[in-house]
A and B are shown apart, each in its own frame.
Chain A
Amino acid sequence: MIAYLIRRFLQVIPTLFVVSLILYGLLALKPGDPIDELRRGNPGFTQADYERLRKFYGLDKPWFVRYWRWLGRAVRGDFGTSRQFGRPAAQYIFRFRFPNTLLLSGVSLLFAFFIAVPTGVISALHQHSLLDYTVTVVNFIGVSIPIFWLGIMLIFIFAVVFRGFLPAGGLTTPGITGTWPAIADRIRHLILPVAALSSLQLAQWTRFMRSSMLDVIKLDYVITARAKGLNERRITYHHALRNAILPLITLIGLNVPLLFSGAILTETVFNWPGMGRAIFDAILVNDFNVAMVSLVFISLLVLSFTLFADIMYAIVDPRIRYD
């Protein structure tokens, strides 16, 4: 087990290396470089300036040479400067963007989890009831709805029809003072984006919880518990739920990174200054350093959470053997 973990852990490093190589290669294939932007904004720009600047930024070298340099600096924690904002790319992402994304995704995750588990359990306990069918159909809708359209419709209902009952987007309302009003304002701004972003995971996890619960309540030990005369409540919540929820934890582990990268659409609709939107803008305006640091960071998240999910699996299910 320990050997397996160490091996898996060591695999993350070469994988991350290849990921960054692929991303850098793809981004470098895009035509256009930072100097084009400068030239466009400056009529006195000569060809000699162009050549000199290209040399200065190292843009005259082939992309793999540039990648090698980038990698050399990146492993020492220097991810270069953002061209749009003139500050270190990592600082921009981690100080100004990541906290917003963490807030949005974290709240969405908790919301989805705490709604999905009870709904899934109740739906499973009343299989084939009207409630179960309703939950099933709503789940189908949840996995089929385009997130951004759901967001737009939510904005229409809560911000347009009910005239500003909830804000249509943004992080905060400017000009609000005092601790409590500010907190209330932040919460109001979170409600709609969280509802949109968590819809997919909510539906998937409810569906998963339901089928996992259905599997567990048919197992022998649950029947034994019932035969011993334990009351249904205790059987459901003490015996069945605890075992049914374990596979869900693994699934959540695998889904967490999705919440971070999948937020591009939600962040666009709600004008939320998070990482997804930053990546999108960076790709559009060729701000490589910002795109690289955020994409590599998300890939690292994906790899760590996959590893985490595997470890969880091994811990909670001793039948699984690794060698």
Chain B
Amino acid sequence: MTEPNRRTPELEIVRDAATPRTESYWRFAWRRFRRHRLAMFGATVIIILVLGAILSPWLTPYNFSRQNRRHMFAAPSLSIPDDPRLVGKCVRPRVLWWRCGMHPFGTDDLGRDILTRVFHGGRVSLLVGFTAAFASTLLGSLVGALAGYWGGLLDAVVSRFIEIMLSIPQLPLLLILVGLLANPEVRLATILGDLLGGAKSIVIIIIVIIALSWMSTARLVRGQVLSLRQREFVEAARALGTPNRRIVFRHLLPNTASVIIVQATLMTGEAILIESGLSFLGLGIQPPAVSWGNMLSRAQGFLYYPNGVYIAFFPGLFILLTVLCANFVGDGLRDALDPRHHGRM
């Protein structure tokens, strides 16, 4: 707020939220976002991680589940062991400089290549993060907007429900829900199992995260809509006979877009953290699927082994990196989309 160089040309664009957002608003936001160095860094890293996750089957010489009992707990290194038995079987002889037998992040307790598993784990972790964040923000925005706009009984019920749910400790609630959906004796769980097969644990985690995290978005959007609802442009729209649905979707929600986008970004990091926590406790993503969280679930036991720390170190580092970058991007978006907010954290 005290940077004079950031003031002059933009100030006129600090427009009223009621003004319809023309293209120049988004272009202006993009310009501001690009200047936010941490956010640009975060966005770049996330794009690289997503590409790495998508392309993972072709990026490494190994299969992520290939075991090599002769070469367990290998230290991270770029050299290739002389003994061909230690090299083991590869899917392809080399990818760029990464040749078969090289373990840049070392190997785990079963002789699996950690870097390969980090790439593959990224698929699940990022998928869970993005899907859960997107869906929970969508759901939360809808419920929040409807409750805020219609008010009355709907609002009272939704608000009370959210208040009650938020007063229950979240992690135990997650544990109970996961336990319910993962238990083969529960009917819904068997249906999910038949439907999804091996991907079941991933979908369960996504569902459970959505079920518990739409509420904070709903509360946020409801608050925004409550204050927007009183504004002249909504009154004008109503006076013109605009149908309610159009007011909600054309006038109210677009004006909360900045809040919603920022919330979705921060929620991505949150969802990845929740997934990793649940998987660490052994209730999240189940093997043979890999995620950064479940790579960590047995890792603590190997701390005292020589080179055992790498099994825990690298997956956790990637969780930290991803969540950190998501938070950078969220911060940059907040500054870019809501210039009044600049400089606050």
Contact = CB atoms under 8 A, between A and B. Distances in A.
B169 A261 contact: yes
B343 A160 contact: no
A91 to B, nearest CB: 20
B205 to A, nearest CB: 15
B163 A15 contact: yes
B28 interface: no
Nearest to A137: B38
B299 to A, nearest CB: 7
Interface string A1-30: 000000000000001001100110011011
A233 B210 CA distance: 48
Contacts of A218: 1
A59 to B, nearest CB: 15
B207 interface: no
Contacts of B177: 26
A283 B172 contact: yes
B183 A30 contact: yes
Given A27-B176, A32-B185, A143-B327, A149 B169 contact: no
Contacts of B165: 22
Interface in B146-204: 163-173, 175-177, 179-180, 183, 185-186
Interface in A253-302: 257, 260-262, 264-265, 268-269, 276, 279-280, 283-284, 291, 295, 298-299, 302
A127 B2 contact: yes
Interface string B1-39: 111000000000000000000000000000000000010
Given A19-B164, A31-B183, A210-B345, A261 B171 contact: yes
B320 A144 contact: yes
A302 B169 contact: yes
B345 to A, nearest CB: 5
Given A29-B180, A261-B169, A291-B172, A22 B324 contact: no
Contacts of A265: 171, 277, 280-281
A140 B173 CA distance: 27
Q: A interface, how many residues as a size bin?
A: 35 or more
A154 B163 CA distance: 36
Nearest to B331: A140
User: Main secondary structure on chain A at its contact with chain B?
Assistant: helix
B319 interface: yes
A74 interface: no
A306 interface: yes
A149 B316 contact: yes
B185 A31 contact: yes
Nearest to B325: A144
B277 to A, nearest CB: 6
A305 to B, nearest CB: 10
Nearest to B2: A127
A238 B2 CA distance: 23
Contacts of A168: 303
Contacts of B167: 15, 19, 299, 302-303, 306
Contacts of B166: 302
Contacts of A113: none
Contact of B312 (A19, A152, A279, A280): A152
Contact of B168 (A19, A127, A269, A284): A19
B344 interface: yes
13 contacts: A15-B164, A19-B168, A140-B327, A144-B273, A144-B323, A145-B320, A149-B276, A261-B170, A261-B171, A276-B171, A280-B175, A284-B179, A302-B168
Interface of A: 15, 18-19, 22-23, 26-27, 29-32, 127-128, 136-137, 139-141, 143-149, 152-153, 155-156, 159-160, 168, 207-208, 210-211, 214, 218, 257, 260-262, 264-265, 268-269, 276, 279-280, 283-284, 291, 295, 298-299, 302-303, 306
Interface of B: 1-3, 38, 163-173, 175-177, 179-180, 183, 185-186, 269, 273, 276-277, 280-281, 296, 299-300, 303-304, 309, 312-313, 316, 319-320, 323-324, 326-328, 331, 343-345
Given A22-B168, A152-B299, 17 more contacts: A19-B164, A19-B168, A26-B180, A31-B185, A140-B38, A141-B320, A144-B324, A144-B326, A146-B296, A149-B276, A149-B296, A160-B309, A214-B1, A280-B172, A291-B172, A299-B167, A302-B167
